[in-house]
Chains A and B, each alone.
Chain A
Amino acid sequence: MWSEKYRPQNISDMIGNEESRSLIIEWLTKWKKGTKPILLVGPPGIGKTTIAYLIAKQFQYDLIGLNASDVRSKSQINEILLPVLGNVSVMGIPMIFIDEVDGIHGRGDFGGAEALIEILKEPTIPIILAANSDISDKMKNIKKVVKTIFFKPIPPRLLKIHLENIMVKENATLSLGSMIKVIEKSKGDIRSMINLTQSFVTGFDPPVEKSFENINVEDGINAFFKANSIDEARSVLYSIQIDPKSKIDAFYSSILTSNLDNITLAKFLEIISEADMLYGKIMKTQNWRLLRYLNEILIKLYKNDQRMRYSQYSISWPLLNRIRWDGKKIKSVSSIMAKNLHLSSSKFITICFPYMMFCIKNNKLQLDSDDIFYDIFQKEIELIK
């Protein structure tokens, strides 16, 4: 795996984020008991984990690494970390690195984050945290007790130099066009760039002209509904080579967003439903032989129809956003509340939650503005007619 092979061995070998890197070095050089821990925030694949390991190595600390799955509950945190914090002399000089701290949030166990914050408040050894995002409420609380250092996506110019270096070491070549494509696609994520390059170099030369053998979903779906005969449609269908689930989903979302009349819509969705059942059966029985019937179900969708257009999403943007943001918060509310009311989350949200919001709205139940759920409750109260 090239991305591991080319993990930098020294901080000075890293590319990008020079300023953030020197801030970290400065932090550790000046570190003394009580110095605030640091939190590295940034998108994937730009060196957060890498620098934590490298700085420990360079300054000869023993790095105790944890990630979100290790630190879910208060007792786990205390069990793992308290001995380290107390017993400095026995084990050399330890340093704690907690990766993916944003992962602690939203799992319905808040004791973990709280216990962590207690530790962060009085650091007896250097502590580094890393996260992709710092916007959740939980992260806001963590941010109060640490110094935050941001990591940004790597600019294309640096990516290109790095990529060329790797190509030389690998004795491989990549056309300029492919190189640009790889850099563009990786959006500043070094790891993703390296992985993509490796797949290109080891065989999948990015198609220069669109071969009919393997076309992308969007072109495929559009071509399918523009085909002039069922045979043409079939050959398009077979050349959309993606996993069966994505194929079904692509047709599904395109059908739902193409403004079809109700009769056609119902007919098409019934076909999708049938395809999906087949897929469900394959997954359950692991009987992949059945997969060959999938295209024969989907071909029933064929109809030269100018209205049909590919779409990736089957629901509106506002709803998509609500699922992404409100949905997450509501889930954590209901998992806590439902437990305490001894019923399922689904029942809680259906029956109890609306009445509860109504009582809050009428000021008969108190809502504390410190409450972790304050924002989402306010929003839900406004939604009551």
Chain B
Amino acid sequence: MGNRQEDHMLLTGMWVEKYRPSKLSEIVNQTEIISSLESLIKDPTDMPHLMFSGSAGVGKTTTALCISRQILGEYSRDYTLELNASDERGIGMVREKVKKFSRYAGMVDVPFKIIILDEADEMTSDAQTALRRIIEDTAKYCRFILIANNISKIIAPIQSRCATFKFTTIPEEEMINHLETIAKKEKVKADKNGLKAIYDYSEGDLRHAINLMQATASIGEISEVNVKISAGLTKTSDVDDILKMALSGKIIESREKMIELIKVYGMSESDFLKYLNSAVFKINHEKISSILQVIAKYDYRILVGANPEIQLSSLLAELGKLEK
């Protein structure tokens, strides 16, 4: 019986997965990091815990998966635990899974098990404190690879237990080269202006770029016109709309849309705030700094444990009051 969860047919058609590097040497751009990592894993028993930081879609998770594959070889599936802190509610789940995993008996031919904890910066500081203990308790048999977009949200004691690598965004030339290679393999025509447009929309996020290119290919060749048609599909443009609506005083409408994103689609509140922040920089508004202050105020309130829906509603209402 085929396991649906493992190989949902839509996923095999997704180019981001199809072209995810499977070896460190295939990773685009991060050359210094890669060569340093390659020498670190030559003698794995000495390998420290690792921490990868950097913006979205630049190869952090991919690098972690490659390391696991290169160290653990054919056993990598069984001996790697992948967790995403923004999906696992609270430290309890993490602790339980880690505990169970680290107990799992009988290691053959592998130096240790690997735990990849993605989006670790989404954990509260309490949870991070608890994690510190977990890292210690399991150190004998496990190595952690922590991944964070924003390393400043990781508490110092955890940072100090890891070797840290900062990933940079993919520069224009390298991204376009990579996109061209994929386009060739998929037999889609791509012109320079089209690829440049993808780069501009993606802001150095290769995952976004590849997705956008695939969407564009579904209507024709990769030209500037076609890219423009496909761009703007993502839900970040809904966040842009929400900001505009709120600022023009349509509070109730913008609030319904915000709730739709969060409650129907499952966008996390912290992602919503992150996209809202970048939306502010896309508009031309004379009160930019007041807007950012309002956002910061409610971001803080949510952080200290208030109810996100109530706080975000109040945020939008306060933005609606700003203009005039």
Residues of A within 8 A of B (CB): 108-111, 114, 248, 252, 256, 262-263, 265-266, 269-270, 272-273, 276-277, 279-281, 283-284, 314-316, 319, 322-323, 326-327, 330-331, 334-347, 349-356, 358-368, 372, 384
Given contacts A337-B11, A358-B233, contact A342 B118 (CB under 8 A): yes
Whether A362 pairs with B218 at a CB distance below 8 angstroms is yes
Chain B residue nearest to A334 (CB atoms) is B266
Q: Out of B6, B234, B264, B304, which one reaches A281, CB within 8 Å? A: B304
Interface string of B280-294 (1 = CB under 8 A from A): 000000000000000
Q: Tell me if B235 is interfacial: C-beta within 8 Å of chain A.
A: yes
Interchain CB contact (< 8 A) of B207 among A109, A114, A276, A351 = A351
Of all chain B residues, the one with the shortest Cβ separation from A367 is: B10
Task: Please state if A345 and B260 are interface contacts (CB–CB under 8 Å).
Answer: no
Q: Is the CB of A341 within 8 A of B17?
A: yes
Given contacts A276-B306, A349-B267, contact A316 B217 (CB under 8 A): no
Residue in B119, B215, B255, B267 whose beta carbon sits within 8 Å of that of A355 in the complex: B215
* 8 Å CB contact of B256 from A283, A316, A346: A316
For B264, what are the chain A residues with a Cβ–Cβ distance below 8 Å? 319, 322-323, 326-327, 330
In the complex, the chain A residue whose C-beta lies closest to that of B237 is A354
Shortest distance in angstroms between B184's beta carbon and chain A's nearest beta carbon?
18
B178 in the interface (beta carbon within 8 A): no
7 contacts between A and B (CB under 8 A): A256-B313, A270-B314, A327-B263, A342-B82, A345-B86, A355-B212, A363-B218
Q: B223 on the interface (CB 8 Å rule)?
A: no
Residues of B267-324 whose CB lies within 8 A of A: 267-268, 271, 275, 298, 301, 304-307, 310-311, 313-314, 317-318, 320-321
3 closest A-B pairs (Cβ-Cβ)?
A: A364-B218, A362-B218, A346-B268
Q: Which residues of B contact A354 (CB under 8 A)?
A: 233-235
Contact B8 A340 (CB under 8 A): yes
* The one of A256, A270, A351 that contacts B234, using a Cβ cutoff of 8 Å: A351
A266 to chain B, nearest CB (A): 4
> In terms of DSSP, what is the predominant structure of the interface of chain B?
helix
Q: B16 — nearest CB in chain A belongs to which residue? A: A341
Enumerate chain B interface residues (CB-CB to A < 8 A).
1, 3-6, 8-11, 13-14, 16-17, 56, 61-62, 65, 82, 84, 86-87, 118-119, 122, 207-208, 211-212, 214-215, 217-219, 230, 233-236, 249, 251-252, 255-256, 259-260, 263-268, 271, 275, 298, 301, 304-307, 310-311, 313-314, 317-318, 320-321
A277 and B219: CB pair below 8 A? Answer: no
A110 surroundings in chain B (CB, below 8 A): 4-5
A108 to B5, CA, bound (A): 9
A265 B317 Cβ-Cβ under 8 A: yes
Please, how many angstroms separate the alpha-carbon atoms of A323 and B65 in the complex? 35
**Complex CA–CA separation, A334 to B11 (angstroms):** 12
From B1, B218, B252, give the contact of A256 (CB < 8 A).
Answer: B252
Q: Which residues of B contact A326 (CB under 8 A)?
A: 264
Minimum distance in angstroms from B323 CB to a CB of chain A: 10
* A315 surroundings in chain B (CB, below 8 A): 256, 259
Residues of B within 8 A of A270 (CB): 314, 317-318
CA–CA, A199 to B166, complex, Å?
61
A127 to B220, CA, bound (A): 55
Closest chain A residue to B20 by CB distance? A342
Q: In the docked arrangement, what's the CA distance between A364 and B208, Å?
A: 18
CA distance A345 to B270 in the complex (A): 13
Query: Of residues B10, B219, B255, B268, which shows the largest number of chain A Cβ atoms within 10 Å of its Cβ?
Result: B10
Of the candidates B211, B230, B267, the one whose C-beta lies within 8 Å of that of A352 is B211
Indicate if the CB atoms of A276 and B86 lie closer than 8 Å: no
Residues in chain A near residue B301, CB distance under 8 A = 273, 277
User: When A337-B11, A352-B211 are in contact, do A347 and B3 touch as well, CB less than 8 Å?
Assistant: no
Q: How far is the CA of A349 from the CA of B87 in the complex (A)?
A: 13
Given contacts A277-B304, A323-B263, contact A347 B211 (CB under 8 A): no
CB < 8 Å neighbour of A344 from B65, B119, B310: B119
Min C-beta distance of A348 to chain B, whole Å:
9
Q: Are B305 and A338 in contact (CB under 8 A)?
A: no
Could you tell me the distance between the alpha carbons of A236 and B151 in the complex, rounded to whole angstroms? Answer: 50
The distance in angstroms between the C-alpha atoms of A248 and B86, with both chains bound, is: 27
**Cβ contact within 8 Å between A344 and B317:** no
Q: Are A336 and B87 in contact (CB under 8 A)?
A: no
- Docked-complex contact A364 and B310, CB < 8 angstroms: no
Q: Are the C-beta atoms of A114 and B1 separated by less than 8 Å?
A: yes
Which residues of chain B are near A322, meaning CB under 8 Å?
A: 260, 264
Cross-chain contact B234 with A355 (CB below 8 angstroms): yes
Given contacts A330-B265, A354-B234, contact A347 B310 (CB under 8 A): no
Cβ-defined contact, A352 with B256, below 8 A? no
Q: How far is the CA of A334 from the CA of B3 in the complex (A)?
A: 17
Q: How far is the CA of A334 from the CA of B235 in the complex (A)?
A: 14
**Contact B313 A280, beta carbon cutoff 8 Å:** no
Check A384–B233 contact: CB distance below 8 A.
Answer: yes
- Of chain B, the residue at the smallest CB distance from A245 is B307
Q: Across the interface, which residues of A come within 8 angstroms of B255, CB to CB?
A: 256
Pair B305/A366 contact, Cβ less than 8 Å:
no
Q: How far apart sit A272 and B255, CA to CA, in the bound complex (Å)?
A: 15
Minimal Cβ-Cβ distance residue in A for B269:
A346
Cα(A281)–Cα(B264), bound, Å: 28
| Alpha-carbon distance between A279 and B311 when the two chains are bound, in angstroms | 13
Which residues of B are found within 8 Å of A265, using beta-carbon distances? Answer: 251, 317, 320
Across the interface, name the chain A residue whose C-beta is closest to B321: A266
Other A-B pairs, 17, CB within 8 Å; known A277-B304, A345-B266, A355-B212: A262-B249, A262-B317, A266-B320, A269-B314, A269-B317, A284-B304, A319-B260, A338-B84, A338-B87, A340-B6, A341-B11, A343-B207, A344-B118, A344-B268, A350-B235, A353-B235, A354-B233
